[in-house]
Structure formats: structure tokens, C-alpha cells
Structure 1
Amino acid sequence: MANEEFRLVSPAIDHDGKLPRKYTVEGQGARKNLSPPLEWYNLPEGTKSLALVVQDIDAPDPNGPIVPWTIWVVANIPPTLKGFPEGFSGKEEEVGGDYANIKEGHNDEKVPGWRGPKLPSHGHRFEFKLFALDGMLHLGNKVTKDKLLEDIEGHVLGEAVLMAIF
């Protein structure tokens, strides 16, 4: 029997779960603000849209406990799409078609789109969480992780999580 689990994967993340340097802003080979390719499979029945939140879940807050750092927020991804190509962030309007209604939200740097992480230390875990939703989101002009998570409450049909380490 085939695996019918709702899944999120990235061909760019190696078998050890490492996020390649080119998707960060650190060191040789880094390509500032280049989002990694993503693919998803087996959407739950009734999915009308998808939403994505990417966070560094080991981000240190100098004034307190570990608080996740938001790297990327994406809303209103049509269920007809099977993924994002590398470097998709910031280009959804250029690509058009199925990508036209996708909305990239503000990350913790207060700007929309993918922002490659710059880390004080290595070994951080990056959580890519894809939500299958029963409708479209109406978030206004400034989409944030908090606004998105509040809006999807009660509308989540499934979640797919991909973890990567840098």
C-alpha cells in the first residue's frame, strides 16, 4: 500500500537534513534571500488553499527563552500547485498564473518574503510547516505569522512538517 500521508519535502535538503548554505546569508556560497525548492504530496481531501510558515525554532532571544524566529510566511497557495521552485520568494507576481494570488507575509525582519538566516551558532533547526486549509485566507495587506495562525484556527485539514538543520 502506498504512503498516503500529507508530506512536505525539499530536494535541496540532503539526507542528513542539512539546509545548504546557499539558502542562508552566511559564508561562501550563500545566495542572499534565495528560497529553497519545496514539494508537497497527498493533500487532505477538501483542501482549498495552503499556508506555509518557516521558522528557526532554536532562535535565541537575548532577553529570554528560545523564541522561534520567523523566516517565511506564505498564504493562499492554491491546491493545484505541487510545490515552489528554488528562488520562488518575491517572484510570485512575475510568474503569474497559479501563483498570482499567493501572498507572502512579513517575517521577523519586518519585510515580506524569505530572508535567509544568519545564525550566531550552527545546529539550529528550521521548521517548514505547511497547512492544508478548508478555504482561502483574508488577511489584509500585512500578513504576519501571528495573524495567519490566528486566521487558520478551526480551518486546518492537515499539517505537513519538514525539519532542516543549519
Structure 2
Amino acid sequence: MANSSEEFRLALPGVSHDGRLPRQYLAEGQGAKKNISPPVEWYNVPEGAKNLALVVRDIDAPDPEGPLVPFNIWVVAGIPPAIKGLPEGFSGKEEEAGGEYAGIKEGTNDLKKHGWQTPKMPTPGHRIEFKLLALDQELNLGNKVTADKLLESSEGHVLGEAVFIVKS
């Protein structure tokens, strides 16, 4: 078993001690700032990873017809394994970021919006899952990147995954 300090893991700086995502990253409530993407950091990317991909979803989203169906909030593909995170407010700026962020591609979420966008939560306390996949190859996702397409394409290519769950 790997030492926990060497474990592939994900962190969100600024998440409060009670595990809540700060209001400025949400679509509503006091202090909400119009959906700024939160800073995300990761550690100990598995050896051999050629690419990273991030999928953020509300895992408590109800389907109007009944069961819980994860609601995709943010999908980011083509992340170079050498970088250690995405800064606050990265979403929507990947085109101009350049440098070490060149090649990163944001996708379309379930609100049909490009980049980070949280839905208005019908009730507080929804769990939002940040899942980072370490992949053994670059995925060819074409022009329209979605979480479902990314997750389907990554099957059989995942070297590791790091998950961090916060509450809305």
C-alpha cells in the first residue's frame, strides 16, 4: 500500500473546515460572484500519465422523473501532467492562458454552457464531486468536449483517479 503522502490526491484550497465550497464559486447566495471556477491542486500524479482530465459534478442532482443523476458542472481535458493545478478563475480563460496551460480544453456542461457553471441548487448541501483522472494517453475528443464523452473515451486508459467532495 502506498504511503498516504505519495497518494494521488486532489485538494481545493479555500474550502472551509466544514467541507463547504465558498459562495463565490456558486451561482447564488451571499457573496456569490458569478461562477468563478475554484482553484484546484493535485499531488503525486501516477507515473506514466500522459494527460489529466477533470470532471466536476453535483452527485445529488435529482432527475425530475425520480433518481439521482449526476449533473455535470465543469469538464476540463488535455491537462499536462507536469502542472500542479488550475488557478482560481481559470475557467473561460484557457484560450489566453498559454504557457504551461496551452492545450487545455474546457468542455460543455449540463447547462449547455462552456466552462465552470454551477446550477442554482434546489436545496443546500448538495455534494459536488471533483474527480481528476490520470490517463495513459491523450484523448481525442474532437471539438465538443462533454463529461460523458470524456468518461467514455477514458475507459481502459485510467492510471489513477483522485476525488475530492465538497458541499454546496
TM-score, normalised with respect to structure 2: 0.95
Preserved contact between residue 35 and residue 116 of structure 1 (Cα < 8 Å): no
Pairing partner for 1:70 from 69, 72, 75: 72
Preserved contact between residue 109 and residue 117 of structure 2 (Cα < 8 Å): yes
Q: Which ranges of 4 or more aligned residues in structure 1 deviate by more than 3 Å?
A: none
> In structure 2, the residue corresponding to 1:61 is in which secondary structure?
coil
> In structure 2, the residue corresponding to 1:3 is in which secondary structure?
helix
Aligned to 1:160: 162
How do 1:7-26 and structure 2 match up within 5 A? Answer: 7-26=9-28
RMSD (CA atoms): 1.1
Distance in 2, Cα, partners of 1:159 & 1:27: 31
1:7 shift after superposition = 0.5
> In structure 2, the residue corresponding to 1:55 is in which secondary structure?
strand
Identity of aligned residues (%): 69
Deviates more, 1:42-51 or 1:23-32: 23-32
The residue type equivalent to 1:86 in the other structure is E
1:2 shift after superposition = 6.5
Aligned to 2:129: 127
How do 1:40-119 and structure 2 match up within 5 A? Answer: 40-119=42-121
Distance in 2, Cα, partners of 1:127 & 1:62: 20
* Number of aligned residues: 166
Preserved contact between residue 52 and residue 80 of structure 2 (Cα < 8 Å): yes
Gap runs ≥5 in structure 1: none
Distance in 1, Cα, partners of 2:25 & 2:140: 29
The residue type equivalent to 1:108 in the other structure is D
The residue type equivalent to 2:24 in the other structure is K
Gap runs ≥5 in structure 2: none
Distance in 1, Cα, partners of 2:139 & 2:85: 19
Distance in 2, Cα, partners of 1:112 & 1:132: 22
